[in-house]
Amino acid sequence: MKSILNIAAYLFVSLDGLPELRAKMLNECNARELKGTILLTGEGINLFLAGKAEALRGFVDWLRSDPRFSSLETKESWSEDQPFKKMLIKLKNEIIRMNHPTIQPEKGRANFISPKKLQEWLDRGTDDLGRPVVMVDTRNAFEVDYGTFENALHFNIDKFTEFPAAISAHKEGLAGKTLVSFCTGGIRCEKSGLYMREIGMEHSYQLEGGILKYFEEVGSAHYQGSCFVFDEREALEPNLDSIPVEHSIRKKLKTG
């Protein structure tokens, strides 16, 4: 039985006193023998943590006791071993860098669609009003190599700051279609969805909870391959198991 709980979570919320907050969080994580990475910024928090279930859920409860984090939602998966080597809490300028200061998810989210509703659309090939549905992958090229939605549009980008220019260049060709942007856990889409609306792509949505939430609620339908994750597991299959070693892209790169 897999005994290590893994969680991914983020929340856009105005934060101050970051050095003090970092110290408190680090003490709580170390006391519970948790490992992983937490990013703290003035615009919110992003975290990937792993540990014993009771300890990890206890930390989440402690975090939510702060009113600023009361609405934090987590995505869970399990592993046999601890996928992180250490506990790190980093102070950054942005949770996910986009270089567009006008895009502020805390002030209002983009339209979103649930995993199960998205499956309905993909089963049918159109949204509820009959418009063709196009999946827009906001991730970097190496992540797309592990897997993505069938027929998804992606831009072979190396970093998220390249996404605005890439999607803008396709604006005319996507007119009249319903766009659903997606990423690993949803965080990049909090910004990409707002940006797409800002440039006039009115029929655009973000996939709520990203690929990981889709795997949890739907599974493999309309998805090909695995999903890269930012820890030693490398990638997760649609059943949320880590990929077999023989399928590892990292292994193939090392062995040629």
What pLDDT does 245 receive?
55
Residue 124 neighbours by CB under 8 Å, 6+ apart: none
CATH of domain 4-91: 3.30.70.100
> Longest C-alpha distance within the chain, in Å?
53
| Average pLDDT for 165-192 | 94
Where along the chain do the CATH 3.30.70.100 domains lie?
A: 4-91
Task: Tell me how far CA of residue 230 lies from CA of 47, 90, 125, 185, in angstroms.
Answer: 10, 15, 31, 11
Q: Where are the alpha helices (DSSP H) in the chain?
A: 18-31, 53-64, 115-124, 141-146, 163-169, 187-198, 210-217, 249-255
Closest CA to 220 of 241, 204, 193: 241
Where along the chain do the CATH 3.40.250.10 domains lie?
A: 105-255
Top-confidence residue, 64 or 250: 64
Please list the active-site residues: 183
Question: What does the alpha-carbon distance between residue 23 and residue 72 come to, in Å, rounded to a whole number?
Answer: 20
| Average pLDDT for 74-88 | 93
Residue 151 has pLDDT above 70, yes or no: yes
Mean pLDDT estimate for the chain:
92
Fold of domain 105-255: Oxidized Rhodanese; domain 1 (3.40.250)
What is the crossing angle of helices 53-64 and 18-31, to 10°?
A: 150
pLDDT tens readout for residues 205-241: 999 999 999 999 999 999 999 999 988 889 999 999 9
Q: Confidence band (pLDDT; 50, 70, 90) for 101?
A: confident
Q: 35-56: b or e for each residue (b if 16 or more CB lie within 10 Å)?
A: bbbbbbbebbbbbbbbbeeebb
